[in-house]
Structure 1
Amino acid sequence: MQLTPIAQLIDHTPPFSTVCLQGSSPSEDAEHQLRLRWDALRSRLEEAGAPAEALEALDAALVGGETDPTQIHTEGRVLVADADTVLLDEPWDATRGQGDAAHVGDAPAVGDYVRERAGSAVLLVALADQEGATLRRVTVAEGLSTEPDAEQQVEGAGDGSVHKPREGALSHRQIQRRADEVVTQNARSVAERLESLAARWRPDAVVLAGEVQGRTALAEELPASLKSITHVAERGGIGDEAAEEALAEDLLLITRRLAAGRSQDQTSRFEQARAENRVAEGAAAVRLAAEMGGVDTLLLQADRSAPEEDELIAAAARVDAEAAVTRAELPDGVAAVLRFEAPTEVTRA
């Protein structure tokens, strides 16, 4: 992921107060539970020296704002405030299952948020039938709701019925050919809209779901640029809760495969850069490389936090680096691919 959002945070004046809420099971008393959780976190922040204005701003965002408390309680949340303003407020469970967390420091404590974002995917989902499609943009990650954050309906431009006759007379075969033509025209209309939305939304993948005949026809009409990033969700659709749940499960599986592929790609890229002496390994070397403006991609180990990780992420963000996650073992749990061959000072750090 690009670290631009983190760079925008650290442009503000510290200290930074970071709150991470773990996603919890839905509850009838979610509002009360959220209040109890926030009270405990607020006490921790207060003891750690968070400014009173920051606490009031976080209070308003969590329990005094317009967001449904049940949604916050269930999905989880990441918030970052500077001295008096909430700078980041997003529905992510970035706790790695370790419970709610609160931090105060000179840099935002967003290591697990960055890991979660790096493992997420923006999907352009087409729920197709033979007459058109429902198109959705869905951001998917572990612990994040797969509710669409944008949706459009597309009616095909085909003129006529898509229903085919059951008998085999000549006239019926002509009707069948006409029905096939209408299905193709409808699929072409949807494909054109998908191509337009993909240019605007820049998804990590296109997912075809819904009626088999509809998604098959649509797949044939996709341009090569979309076919190369297209996946099929075999189950689920729209219309009832069970169909939506099945679709959400398939979208999560697709996202996991995408994240695994990205992790493998980053590991291979790191090994290639290491052979070219363009890497920094370990916290001290990465910090020095960032100070020199040399970090191209900050690599975080998926299951391990680095020493002074918050400061390392901030330093990488300041030099417009990207962040990626790998499951490979890294010294101190952190490394970096550099923009140039590593100077001697970095290799000895």
Structure 2
Amino acid sequence: MDLGFLRPLYESDGPVASVHLDTSRDTTDADKKIELRWRHLREELAALGTDEATLDVLEEAVGQGASRAYGDHGQALYASGGRLLGAHTLTEPPSQDRASFLPVPDTLPLAIDRGRRLPYVLVALDRIHAKVFAYTAQPTHKPVMEMENEGYDLQDIETQGRLYPAQRGDAGGRRADTNMAQELWKENTAQVAEMVREAVRKVDAKAIIVGGDNEAIAYLRDNLGPRQLTIPIKVVAGGRGGTDAEERLHETAEECLHEMIREERDQVFSDYQRKLAHDQAVKGTTSILPMLSEARVDTLLLGADRVNEPELWGSYYSPVLVDTSPKGLDDPDAGFKAPASALMLRAAVMSDAGFTELPQTEQSVDPDADGGTTDAGATLRFPK
């Protein structure tokens, strides 16, 4: 995953207030619950020394934007010096509401959440009609683009005089009807393909998910061949045929997305394990820190589990420097302590490294290894 979207969160010379808040709207009193959750975090931030201007700008952002949609979700908010640096809707509510006021933003929950989503295009298709939906990687209540297409059928063509009565009533006429129908379906899906290409461009989609008539889907595949689009096309249950079919399509599309993301994460981890055996990767926080400080990390792998997360030392002036002691920084007097993930992600962002969540089975804290630091891994830009 490209971490470039996090860069605006580091555009501050002062400390940053980070808020991760459950903003679910699954009950009639959701607004009151959100208000109470925020009030508790505001008091916590104030006790940490957060200025009133920053608290006020955060309060204004709580529950706004896409987070006003109904359902389970959360928010990640970042502000400094009275300025909102970023407001992001989280696909899932955080495991617990959390706030910090540190020299660096606390970005792990946001990076983990973003890595669990993909921008995609969803198509409900039969031989005549189609609906195309485009979704970004950020969770939204509605698609950012929705288009419909109503193509031609034989009755339309017959009305226009392109079929003749003599074509019907014998085997030759039936064959002519069949050939004409297939040509119409191909023409219809060619129109849908152009809509799909537009939707893919709109959200920079990483996958196309399609449900509906199998023959129409085959024609759509032909129109979206490798010369047109290189992203995968996944076929799922549901599609055209009423509200139930479309609801089923959206449900199976979510299942398909989760499977794709899991497969992608597993592929990155397999690549990491292979490189580990050839000195092209390192394991454990202590081994990763010098690689981050030298901007040699290609992909950083961290787990979502923050239980007993240790603190490390970072530099005010050199954002890629991270160490277990201030003595490892360029200026020990200009160092500060912060959660390990916050400093490691800052170094990764500033050195243009990528990020992937560690598989759940690999997430642990070993008190006897690495000085008690959270398990982590990294692939390198060149062998160590």
Q: With the length of structure 2 as denominator, give the TM-score of the two structures.
A: 0.77
DSSP-derived class of the 1:50 partner: coil
Partner of residue 152 from structure 1, selected from 128, 147, 151: 147
Unaligned 5+ segments in structure 2 are: 311-339, 364-369
Bigger shift: residues 278-287 or 288-297: 278-287
Q: Which amino acid aligns with 1:191?
A: A
The size of the alignment, in residue pairs, is: 336
| 2:237 is aligned with 1:231 | no
Identical-residue share of aligned pairs (%): 23
1:82-231 equivalences under 5 Å are 82-93=80-91, 95-96=93-94, 98-139=95-136, 144=139, 147-156=142-151, 161=156, 169-199=171-201, 201-224=203-226, 226=229, 229-231=232-234
- 8 Å Cα contact 1:266-1:326 kept in structure 2: no
Bigger shift: residues 161-170 or 332-341: 161-170
Bigger shift: residues 185-194 or 296-305: 296-305
Aligned-pair distance for 1:155? 4.7
In structure 2, what is the Cα distance between the partners aligned to 1:220 and 1:8? Answer: 41
Q: Which amino acid aligns with 2:73?
A: E
1:1-349 equivalences under 5 Å are 1-22=1-22, 24=24, 26-62=26-62, 67=65, 70-71=68-69, 74-93=72-91, 95-96=93-94, 98-139=95-136, 144=139, 147-156=142-151, 161=156, 169-199=171-201, 201-224=203-226, 226=229, 229-236=232-239, 240=243, 242-303=244-305, 307=310, 308-327=340-359, 329=362, 332-342=374-384
List per-residue Cα deviations over 1:12-37 (Å, max 9, x = no partner).
22311111123535122222222222
Aligned-pair distance for 1:187? 0.9
DSSP-derived class of the 2:69 partner: helix
Aligned-pair distance for 1:311? 0.8
The alpha-carbon distance between structure 1 residues 333 and 278, as it changes in their structure 2 partners (threshold 3 A), is same
Unaligned 5+ segments in structure 1 are: 343-349
DSSP-derived class of the 1:276 partner: coil
In structure 2, what is the Cα distance between the partners aligned to 1:311 and 1:94? Answer: 24
DSSP-derived class of the 2:238 partner: coil
Aligned-pair distance for 1:313? 0.4
- 8 Å Cα contact 2:124-2:239 kept in structure 1: no
Q: Which amino acid aligns with 2:14?
A: P
Q: Which amino acid aligns with 1:22?
A: D
Q: With the length of structure 1 as denominator, give the TM-score of the two structures.
A: 0.84
Q: Which amino acid aligns with 2:81?
A: A
Bigger shift: residues 175-184 or 329-338: 329-338
Q: Which structure has the greater CA radius of gyration?
A: 2
DSSP-derived class of the 2:62 partner: helix
In structure 2, what is the Cα distance between the partners aligned to 1:14 and 1:214? Answer: 57
